[in-house]
Structure 1
Amino acid sequence: MKTTFDGTMQPLDRTVPDPALIVLIGAAGSGKSTWASTWPSTQVLELDQFRAMVSDEAGDQSATLSAVNVMHTVLEARLARKRTTVIDATNTEERVRAGLLQMARNYGVPTVAFLVSTPASVCVERQADRSPDRAVPEDVVRRQHADAVAALPHLRSEGFDHVVFADSIHRLEPLLKRASDTRCRELGWDGSDGLGGLLLVRRTFGAEVLPLWRWRDNSPLAGGDRVGEIRLGPDRLVLALRTDVDGEGDVGFDLLVGCPYDDECDAPAWQPVFSVTDLWKAHTSDTGLHPDAVCSVHGGPDDVDQEADDHDQDDDPEGRADLEEQFAAAVRE
């Protein structure tokens, strides 16, 4: 059997036991978080997230000490339960690794040094894609990279049970398996009810909206189309699920809004919404006339002039009083 060696002429290790404390080692921008994402999120302790927890800013370096203290508290609780835990931080300093190793020894949990060996130039280039509060200065990135390279020959003597290179570990299968399991639960392929009618809601507006969504079946407000609402305390958005947009069989949502053509019109009007950003804009600001807004009485922008003429000739065109009552009833419910 052929034996493969790493850059230090040590046999290449591919062992990642379970449970284990897996310490990612690499400069900022090396791709540690990408590898960390192949484990369940509950198993990953990311230092940036703990900075955000204590300071609301993931890049706030002044919050590092507090963030580390909180992270160590969670880590100790997981180690006591013999749970696999991934430390997503640079971990290029020996004193940092020594503290983690000691915690793992205290609970008899095996340790893995997981090296993400991306070239320094690539790590530096990736900082340009980060937000200003997350970007790391070039000199810091290069120092971290140099420290990681220098640490490699000594990681076993530091006390790590296993030293592995990320590029030698197959992690795609568990990532795909977890994503597939999530998908099956959503569709009900695992024997559960799944998300059902909420699947399209989540795809369009995101998971955060789901707990606030309620279908209002049998509502006549949208001309026979299904009506739903997003409600939180006094705030409320009413939407219609359109299943034949533009007569082409497309599916989408319209948001119930006030008539954009006549301030005195109380009839329901609808404007298309395609994302949670559209909902946020409609709820928080006066965005003015939406080019695709349609009033149940006035129609769309091209119909306004003709509708105005009709109103001059008819005391109640197209049953406006009835439409206004439907709108008022929907708002009262």
Structure 2
Amino acid sequence: MVLLAALGAGLPLAQAQAQAPYPSAGPITLVVPFAAGSGTDAVARVVAQRLGERLKQPVIVDNRAGASAQIGAQFVAKAKPDGYTLFMTTNTSHSANPWLFKSLKYDPIKDFTPITRVGELPFALLVNPGLPVRSVQELIDHARTHPDALSYGTPNSTSEVASETIKFVTGTQMTKVPYKSSPQALTDLMGNQIQIYVADLGSSWSMLKTDRVRTLAVTAAKGSRLLPDVPSIGKTIPGFDLTSWNGIFAPANTPGEVVERINGELQVILADKSVQDQLAGVGFEVWPTRTPQEFASYVNEQLAYWGKLIRQAGIERE
């Protein structure tokens, strides 16, 4: 009725929408900078459905994949800061890209308003089952005795930084094969086009308990409660610790009351045991921050940490 009254008074549609209380002006778009079928996409679809139910507006997932999450990030950075365009992304766009690329068309800090961390998307070191190795140490030994014989897939920054760090620390020679999406890298691992892939559990979860891949380790030093019997890479390579976080942002200068509203609804959603179980089913661990300010601090800390990892691994900016 507010919108109709405003239109009847001769106000432009955009102005009428601006005056309507959030989120009554229409659907909300949740941009994901990765392809459909990726781990982040799977999480986004669960969260979008629940958020839409609570806000009583459709929340539409918009996959804008490519350029290591840069395409999606650029789109959101330029979007109107009204709460109707949100961004579910990871450390790829906000922690790693500033250190992996010489020039970015967005600033991960200045161009976004943090809302909440959603959780962690655990990563695991997978190999093709035809490779005669069953542990991280056996993989290292095999790579050392077969220089340049092995190749590894890198569809995202976590895969790349983890693989490059392993290669750098162990002094092994392996070939990097870039991919545009996680599902394609997993397909090529199973087909032996690549032999090694540090994969997110979201896109690889259904394959981990089959004989089509072999899981050697997880990347986080604390391990993963989703794979309690799988060791950490850090048990073989001391100090190795890599965690892929997932969070939701809005464009910079989004009104504080809108940010607080979205954060509040997400807190309720992520505290729901049924949501946690649903996300665990796609290989995701819920771990929200409480406030936008807490998430902002975390984003800054992670930016510095990933910069340290990338410099140590000797990865040059593209």
Common fold: TM-score over 0.5: no
Normalised by the size of structure 2, how large is the TM-score?
A: 0.23
Higher RCO (CA < 8 A, seq sep 6+): 2
Find the structure with the greater CA-based Rg: 1
Normalised by the size of structure 1, how large is the TM-score?
A: 0.23
